Amino acid sequence: MACATKSSLCLYLTLFIVMVTISSPVSAQLSVSFYANTCPSVFDTVRTAVRSAINREARMGASLLRMFFHDCFVNGCDAGILLDDTASFTGEKTALPNNNSVRGYEVIDNIKTQLDRACGGSVVSCADIIAISARDSVVELGGPSYSVPVGRRDARTASRDGANSNLPGFSSNLDVLISQFSNKGFTAREMVALSGAHTIGQARCVTFRNRIYTETNIDSAFATSRQANCPQAVGSGDDNLAPLDAQSPNRFGNNYFQALTNRRGLLHSDQVLFNGGSTDSIVTTYSNDATTFNTDFSNAMIKMGNLSPLTGTQGEVRTNCRRF
C-alpha cells in the first residue's frame, strides 16, 4: 500500500483500518477460549450435566441435538427457541415444527443454574449452552467429537414465522430440503450428513403415518411393524413414538444410512435422501464408511454453530434462558 512513507496520512490510514477491523460486527469471531477467564469450568460443567441428563433418560441426547438445529436455523444460534411466549410476545417455541416436539428446555435451565453458580454470575449465554450440549450429547452417545467455539450472545427477539418457514418439514421432498439447507449455506452433501442426526431419537406417529400406510418405497416388513404402534386413523395414537433409527436409537452411528439403503427410513424426508435422486451416492458412501460420515457431520455441525451468532455487545447474556 502507498503507506511506506512516515507521513501523518499514513498514520491516519493505519488507524482507520485498525478501527474498522475492531468495530466491524462481521469480523467478530467465536473462540473456544472465550470463557477461559470468566468461566473456565464451562465445558466440564456442561459435559457433566448432559451426561447425567442422558443417564436419566437416554433420549435426551437426541432432544438436545435437535434443539441446537432448530435454534440455529432460525435467525442464527441465538437461543431464540428458548423464549417462552407471553401475553405480549410470541416466539419460536410454539411454532409448528417446535410445539410439543422440541424438548430439553429443563435441562438447559438446569445447566444455566449450575454455570451461574460455578462462575459466580450470569456469564455463559444460553446460546452457547445449547451449542455445547449438542456436541456433548453426540459424544455421550458414541458419536464424534468436534470443537465448539463459543462467545454467542442471546437474542432479545424470536421469530415464529422464521421457524415455520426455515425449518424443514417431514413431508418435504429432496429439492425442498436441498433448497432450505442451501438458504443457510449448506451443500446437499452437508444436508445429508446433518440428517444423519436421525441416527438417534424418536418421532411421533403423526410425522410418519402417511409414509407407513401409503408410500411404496418402503420395506414392507418395516412398514407393518411400524403400523402396529401407529394407527391409520388420523387423531388416534398421534403421539406414539418410534425410533428414527430402529437399530440403535441411543447410539450415534451410520446405521441410519444403512436403513435408508434398505428403504427403512421412518420419515418421508429421510427416505427421499435415497430414492433414486442426486443424493443416493452420498447416502451409500456414509452407509459404508462411518469415518467419512463422522468427519462430514462434525464439520457441518461446526458450520451450523456459526450461523449468524450475536457477538460483542449485540443481544445480551440472559439470566433466565426463557426470558429476555
**Contact with ligand HEM (CB under 6 A) among 93, 103, 112, 209:** 103
Q: What is the spatial distance between Cα 317 and Cα 213, in angstroms, rounded to a whole number?
A: 47
94 binding partner (options ligand HEM, ligand NAG, none; Cβ < 5 to 8 Å by kind): ligand NAG
Site for ligand NAG in 56-95 (CB under 6 A): 94
**Contact with ligand HEM (CB under 6 A) among 30, 62, 282, 310:** 62
| 268 flagged as catalytic | no
The 10 Å Cβ neighbour count of residue 32 is 12
Q: What is the spatial distance between Cα 103 and Cα 93, in angstroms, rounded to a whole number?
A: 10
165 binds ligand NAG (CB under 6 A): no
7 binds ligand NAG (CB under 6 A): no
Catalytic choice (70, 226, 318, 322): 70
Query: What separation, in Å, do the N-terminal and C-terminal C-alpha atoms of the chain show?
Result: 46
Task: 232-238: list long-range contacts, CB under 8 Å, 24+ apart.
Answer: 234/209, 237/205, 238/204, 238/205, 238/206
Site for ligand HEM in 199-258 (CB under 6 A): 200-204, 207, 244
Instruction: Compute the chain's Rg from CA coordinates.
Output: 22
* Smallest gap from residue 100 Cβ to ligand NAG (A): 5
Q: What is the spatial distance between Cα 170 and Cα 175, in angstroms, rounded to a whole number?
A: 13
Type of residue found at 31? S
98 binding partner (options ligand NAG, ligand HEM, none; Cβ < 5 to 8 Å by kind): none
Binding mask 100-119 for ligand NAG (x = CB under 6 A): x-------------------
197 binding partner (options ligand NAG, ligand HEM, none; Cβ < 5 to 8 Å by kind): ligand HEM
Q: How far is CA 64 from the centre of its chain?
A: 8
User: DSSP secondary structure string, 131-183?
Assistant: HHHHHHHHHHTT-------B--BB-S---HHHHHHHSPPTT--HHHHHHHHHT
Which residue, 130 or 177, has its beta carbon nearer to ligand HEM? 177
Binding site for ligand HEM (CB under 6 A): 59, 62-63, 65-66, 69, 101, 103, 168-170, 172, 177, 194-195, 197-198, 200-204, 207, 244, 267, 269
Q: Residues marked as binding for heme b?
A: 198
Binding site for ligand NAG (CB under 6 A): 94, 99-100
Q: Residues marked as binding for substrate?
A: 168
